[in-house]
């Protein structure tokens, strides 16, 4: 039997674990760098970039979340392959489709979509872009083994639409689920000390209730119903079927087999893949055994990357893509760090070539402090005479609306989720868990009546007086939020209060109540701000921020010795490290992320009341 103490053994195990983990990380990093050399060598041996041959089909297939700005999303730490991929953003995808319209080598688009990881506002943008492509006279064909309601939304644009004879077709109406943690917390002995302003501000509900509050159910039902109505209207126009008939089909579950979808004219026929390929050859005019020339988006962007950049003049319209949670400090890729984005805007307002800033917001909010830091820099830009407008994506709510509130004009998609003007604070008390389940007790010594409030202990239960102080702080932030909206929108405080209370609105309704100025997309906002800044199309460039790079570009930067080599190396190693997490936890990722989000919260929050996935 070993005579070593358990603490010594534990220390040694920890040392070797750290040692081997570091070795593994180093080996992976070296492997990636060697792979980079191989990749560069292969590219050279192939004579450089690929080319698009005549009579080519552009194949659209989306297997990963689509950010607003290319490569501006956090890599999935549970998927090593994810960080190796070029993650094209919605803006660039739409530009590529525009390029394809005028590309004589591209004869049509082939949609191969089982599911599309996009919000509904972004889905509408891409849906309409596919419709423009089809109206140009080129074909759009769709085929899938399985259509859910999102993928069918895109496929409905196509003519023809096919499905596998033994495939699946989900068409039953919209539904969403929310996850509540209170029961789990009660069993663990964890309570949350919760403070909020706004009766519709429901971000804390999963930790204080076991089901939706009446207010939350009301707003969810309202905006989900509005989205569903618009969804049916778009399908009706695409398939030439009355919207009421589509609702009847869904409400009676009339599509249960692929042939049912044909019977009710939702798809044109059931076909096997080989039959679809034969029809594709027929459209292209190629022989039966000829290879079909296909260009994926990854290949197409490698050919047309330079065309995605706007270089019409020295004057700049800066588009700042604010997507993800608003967090304190610099934040990570895929989030909106208050300090990072303030720095970006500060540099833009000091750039004499920047005449206008468009904030493209796709965020459910986050830190109240970080939101105000960004708001302040936008105010300073306006004071210097720089035009500022906002274009809203899928979500521009709570803190996301806060940073939009002082814009000259706000554009929203009709399906944008916005508003949620309210705030909250949430502090866990884990005393029950520590004492009753783990046998851990703690005691406190206070020098000062309220000194524990500065410590932020997860063991301490606030007194009634301390709770009142925190609530007053939350109320003050809420008042500031409403003041920002009142001054930015030119509304009375009473008018703001009537549409605030943490309530969520669809873009279409937000226009009616004065929270936005116009329904439209990013291009509409750019055109409007160019006109406001007296810029003509041939004398300004549109430049996106923050500057992002694909994994390959970052690897090339390291190999090429660029100025930010150390920063890029650090980011690459962090991504490699995060990718080591086992994929066996995939089914629990959403729950893990929810808990991690709560753990990361500091100070008063301005967040969307919930995360709800509409299927």
Residue-wise pLDDT tens digits, 377-423: 999 999 999 999 999 999 999 999 999 999 999 999 999 999 999 98
CA dihedral 269, 274, 275, 277 (to 10 degrees): 100
Greatest Cα pair distance, the chain, in angstroms, is: 87
Structure letter (DSSP) for residue 145: E
CA dihedral 167, 169, 170, 171 (to 10 degrees): -170
- Name the token pair of 299: 């290949």
Band (589; pLDDT cuts 50, 70, 90)? very low
Count of C-beta atoms within a 10 Å radius of residue 99:
17
Band (562; pLDDT cuts 50, 70, 90)? low
DSSP notation for 375-395: HHHHHHHHHTT-EEEEEEEEE
Band (239; pLDDT cuts 50, 70, 90)? very high
The pLDDT assigned to 573 comes to 54
The pLDDT assigned to 271 comes to 97
The pLDDT assigned to 41 comes to 46
Cβ burial 341-380 (10 Å sphere, 16+ → b, else e): bbebbeebbeeeebbbbbbbbbbbbbbbbbbbbbbbbbee
Answer whether residue 552 shows pLDDT above 80.
no
Answer whether residue 515 shows pLDDT above 50.
yes
Q: Where are the beta strands (DSSP E) in 170-325?
A: 176-177, 191-197, 269-270, 293-296, 315-323
What CA–CA distance (Å, rounded) separates 354 from 315?
A: 6
Angle at Cα 563 formed by Cα 561 and Cα 565, nearest 5°?
60
What CA–CA distance (Å, rounded) separates 186 from 183?
A: 5
Average pLDDT for the chain: 85
Tens-digit pLDDT profile for residues 135-173:
999 999 999 999 999 999 999 999 999 999 999 999 999
Answer whether residue 591 shows pLDDT above 70.
no
Band (488; pLDDT cuts 50, 70, 90)? very high
Give the Å distances, CA to CA, from 318 to 310, 525, 552: 11, 12, 25
Tens-digit pLDDT profile for residues 85-129:
678 999 999 999 999 999 999 999 999 988 888 999 999 999 999
The whole model's pTM is what?
A: 0.82
Count of C-beta atoms within a 10 Å radius of residue 440:
12
The pLDDT assigned to 327 comes to 95
Strands 387-397 and 354-363: what pairing? parallel
What CA–CA distance (Å, rounded) separates 498 from 503?
A: 10
Nearest Cα residue to 201 out of 4, 399, 64: 399
Answer whether residue 81 shows pLDDT above 80.
no
What CA–CA distance (Å, rounded) separates 368 from 474?
A: 10
Answer whether residue 561 shows pLDDT above 60.
no
Count of C-beta atoms within a 10 Å radius of residue 168:
17
Number of H helices and number of E strands within the chain?
23, 22
To the nearest whole percent, how much of the chain has pLDDT over 70? 79
Q: Where is average pLDDT lowest: 32-36, 188-192, 401-405?
A: 32-36
Is residue 174 a contact partner of residue 227, using CB atoms and an 8 Å limit? yes
The pLDDT assigned to 403 comes to 97
Cβ burial 196-233 (10 Å sphere, 16+ → b, else e): bbbebbbbbbbbbeeebeebbeebbeebbebbbebbbe
Q: Pick the catalytic residue from 124, 150, 201, 316.
A: 201
Tens-digit pLDDT profile for residues 439-473:
988 888 888 888 887 776 777 888 899 889 889 99
Answer whether residue 318 shows pLDDT above 80.
yes
What CA–CA distance (Å, rounded) separates 279 from 286?
A: 10
To the nearest whole percent, how much of the chain has pLDDT over 90? 61
Contacts of residue 611, Cβ cutoff 8 Å, sequence gap at least 6? 178, 364, 594
- The alpha carbon dihedral of 44, 45, 47, 49 has a sign of negative
What CA–CA distance (Å, rounded) separates 205 from 608?
A: 12
pLDDT (mean) for 17-38: 49
Answer whether residue 588 shows pLDDT above 60.
no
The pLDDT assigned to 202 comes to 81
The pLDDT assigned to 104 comes to 96
pLDDT (mean) for 21-33: 50
Answer whether residue 27 shows pLDDT above 60.
no
Q: Do you find a cis peptide bond into 546, omega within 30 degrees of 0?
A: yes
Catalytic residue flag (residue 201) = yes
**If you compute the radius of gyration of the chain from its CA atoms, what whole number of angstroms results?**
26
Catalytic residue flag (residue 398) = yes
Q: What are phi and psi of 467, to 5 degrees?
A: -60, -35
Q: Do you find a cis peptide bond into 349, omega within 30 degrees of 0?
A: no
Q: Pick the catalytic residue from 398, 486, 550, 579.
A: 398
Band (546; pLDDT cuts 50, 70, 90)? very high
Q: What are phi and psi of 516, to 5 degrees?
A: -130, 165
The pLDDT assigned to 424 comes to 85
């Amino acid at each position: 039997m070993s005579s070593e103490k358990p603490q010594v053994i534990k220390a040694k195990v920890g040392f070797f674990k750290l040692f081997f983990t570091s070795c593994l990380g180093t080996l992976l990093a070296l492997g990636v760098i060697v792979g980079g050399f191989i990749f560069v060598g292969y590219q050279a041996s192939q004579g450089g970039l690929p080319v698009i041959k005549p009579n080519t089909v552009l194949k659209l297939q989306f297997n990963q979340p689509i950010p607003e700005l290319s490569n501006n999303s956090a890599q999935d730490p549970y998927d090593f392959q994810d960080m190796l991929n070029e993650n094209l953003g919605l803006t660039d995808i739409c530009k590529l489709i525009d390029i394809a319209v005028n590309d004589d080598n591209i004869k049509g688009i082939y949609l191969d979509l089982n599911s599309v990881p996009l919000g509904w506002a972004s889905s509408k943008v891409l849906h309409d872009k596919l419709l423009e492509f089809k109206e140009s006279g080129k074909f759009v064909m769709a085929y899938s083994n399985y259509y859910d309601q999102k993928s069918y939304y895109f496929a409905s644009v196509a003519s023809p639409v096919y499905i596998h004879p033994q495939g699946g077709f989900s068409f039953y109406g919209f539904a969403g689920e929310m996850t509540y943690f209170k029961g789990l917390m009660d069993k663990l002995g964890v309570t949350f000390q919760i403070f909020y302003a706004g009766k519709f501000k429901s971000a804390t509900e999963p930790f204080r209730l076991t089901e939706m509050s009446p207010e939350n159910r009301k707003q969810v039902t309202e905006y989900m119903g509005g989205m569903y109505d618009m969804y049916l209207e778009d399908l009706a126009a695409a398939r030439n079927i009355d919207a009421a008939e589509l609702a009847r089909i869904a409400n009676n579950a009339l599509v249960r087999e692929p042939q049912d979808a044909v019977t009710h004219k939702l798809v044109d026929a059931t076909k096997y893949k080989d039959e679809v390929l034969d029809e594709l050859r027929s459209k292209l005019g190629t022989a039966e055994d000829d290879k079909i020339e296909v260009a994926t988006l990854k290949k197409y962007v490698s050919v047309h990357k330079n065309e995605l950049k706007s270089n019409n003049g020295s004057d700049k319209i800066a588009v700042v893509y604010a997507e993800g949670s608003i967090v304190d400090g610099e934040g990570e890729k895929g989030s909106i760090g208050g300090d990072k984005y303030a720095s970006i805007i500060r540099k833009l307002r000091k750039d004499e070539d920047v005449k206008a800033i468009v904030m493209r917001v796709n965020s459910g909010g986050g830190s109240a402090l970080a939101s105000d830091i960004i708001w302040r820099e936008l105010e300073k830009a306006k004071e210097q005479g720089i035009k500022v407008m906002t274009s809203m994506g899928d979500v521009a709510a709570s803190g996301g609306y806060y940073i939009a509130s002082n814009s000259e004009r706000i554009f929203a998609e009709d399906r944008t989720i916005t508003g949620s003007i309210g705030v909250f604070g949430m502090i866990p008390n884990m005393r029950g868990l520590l004492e009753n389940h783990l046998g851990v007790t703690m005691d406190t010594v206070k020098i000062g009546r309220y000194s524990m409030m500065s410590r932020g202990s997860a063991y301490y239960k606030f007194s009634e007086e301390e709770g009142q102080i925190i609530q007053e702080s939350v109320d003050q932030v809420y008042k500031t939020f409403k003041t920002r909206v009142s001054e930015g929108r030119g509304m009375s405080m009473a008018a703001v209060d009537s549409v605030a209370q943490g309530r969520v609105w669809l873009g279409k309704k937000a226009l009616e109540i004065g929270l936005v100025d116009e329904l439209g997309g990013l291009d509409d906002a750019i055109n409007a701000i160019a006109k406001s800044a007296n810029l003509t199309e041939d004398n300004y460039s549109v430049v996106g921020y923050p500057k992002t790079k694909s994994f390959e570009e970052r690897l090339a930067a390291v190999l090429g010795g660029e100025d930010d080599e150390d920063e890029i190396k650090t980011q690459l190693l962090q991504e490699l490290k995060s990718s080591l997490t086992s994929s066996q936890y995939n089914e629990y990722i959403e729950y893990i992320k929810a808990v991690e989000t709560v753990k990361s919260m500091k100070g008063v929050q301005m967040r969307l009341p919930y995360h709800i996935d509409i299927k």
